[in-house]
Amino acid sequence: MHTIMNDTRIETIEQVRQFLSGASLVEFSISSKNESYKWIEQTLIRFRYGSRNKTDKGLLLDLIEKVSGYSRIQVKRLVRQYLATGRIKRRQCTRQGFAQKYTREDIRLLADIDELHGGLSGPATKKLCERAFEIFKQTEYERLAGISVSHLYNLRGSSTYRNIRAHFDKTRPRASGIGERRKPTPQGKPGYLRVDTVHQGDLDGIKGVYYINAVDEVTQHDIVCAVEKISERYLIPVLERQIKEFPF
């Protein structure tokens, strides 16, 4: 299903601009693809698309995209057809052409996107494919960039897609706490250390030292040392010495 509109109150480019910014000038109804194509053709004729400047053409494309639900790529294709022939007609696809339009590689790319972004809605996923192809020039997304939302859901329901996602689910790594930054919870037991560094500052062009302050979270017992530079070469010996100096 596609959305077309009763747009008798939209007669000027300024009214198109108002509609796109949210003005309530239209009523919506559901119609067939044929009627949607007919409305697009009539809109291009009514606003004399071919004679408009670049800015006005962009507004008309925005209008058609918003009302029809088609992607920018689909809208531009229909406009090119109109400019070349003066008409917009549906393409007649053979069963063989339809079956071969989207390959296993396309389905794998779709599964990759869903795995990466957590399975967004059809329109949002379609927009990601369009950006990948149009903005980031990833040519492998060319076919997915022009896919309809309904057929995107069809691909998600295919056995090929389910098999690929099942493989992802089996190989998904478990979350690890290594490297997490968390506030210590010593529960009253000494031995949880907090390490802070403070630079002494430079004086007359001479580089100052760095103070390394190790503090126990429970007892607040602290040991302060100084190093010339912040690097493994200087820090590791100092930290080892500080740990040994703590009385627990």
- pLDDT, tens digit, 9 for 90 and up, residues 77-131: 999 998 988 888 876 554 444 445 789 999 999 999 998 888 889 888 999 999 9
User: Does one domain contain both 75 and 100?
Assistant: no
Q: Which of 89, 94, 92 is nearest to 78 (CA)?
A: 89
Total structural domains in the chain? 3
User: Does one domain contain both 39 and 79?
Assistant: yes
User: Does one domain contain both 73 and 99?
Assistant: no
User: Does one domain contain both 207 and 237?
Assistant: yes
Model pLDDT for residues 209-221, shown as the tens digit of each residue: 888 888 888 888 8
* Assigned domain for 63 exists: yes
With 60 as the cut, is the pLDDT of residue 185 above it?
Answer: yes
Q: Which of 40, 29, 32 is nearest to 62 (CA)?
A: 40
| Residue 138 DSSP symbol | -
* Assigned domain for 185 exists: no
- The CA distance from 3 to 155, in Å, is 23
Q: To 10 degrees, the CA torsion angle through 98, 102, 104, 107?
A: -130
User: Does one domain contain both 119 and 65?
Assistant: no
* Assigned domain for 179 exists: no
Residue 68 burial (CB count, 10 A)? 21
In 22-57, which positions are buried (b, 16+ CB within 10 angstroms) versus exposed (e)?
Answer: eeeebeeeeeeeeebbbbbbebbeebebeeeeeebb
Single residue among 51, 85, 119 that ends a domain in this structure: 85
Q: Which residue reads 């090119």 in tokens?
A: 80
User: Does one domain contain both 113 and 76?
Assistant: no
Helix (H, G, I), strand (E, B) or coil at 210: strand
Helix (H, G, I), strand (E, B) or coil at 27: strand
* Assigned domain for 184 exists: no
User: Does one domain contain both 166 and 206?
Assistant: no
* Assigned domain for 34 exists: yes
User: Does one domain contain both 56 and 131?
Assistant: no
* Assigned domain for 178 exists: no
Single residue among 40, 67, 85 that ends a domain in this structure: 85
The pair of structure tokens assigned to 62 is 């925005």
CA distances (Å), 125 to each of 141, 167, 168, 182, in order? 12, 20, 18, 34
**Residue 1: pLDDT band by 50, 70, 90 thresholds?**
very low
* Assigned domain for 186 exists: no
**Residue 66: pLDDT band by 50, 70, 90 thresholds?**
confident
pLDDT of 21: 81
pLDDT of 195: 83
Helix (H, G, I), strand (E, B) or coil at 147: coil
Which pTM value belongs to this model?
0.38
Element (H, E) at 222: strand 222-227
* Assigned domain for 90 exists: no
User: Does one domain contain both 117 and 148?
Assistant: yes
Range of the domain at 241: 193-245
Residues ≥6 apart with Cβ < 8 Å to 47? 13, 16, 56, 60
User: Does one domain contain both 112 and 165?
Assistant: yes
Single residue among 26, 60, 85 that ends a domain in this structure: 85
Average pLDDT, the chain: 81
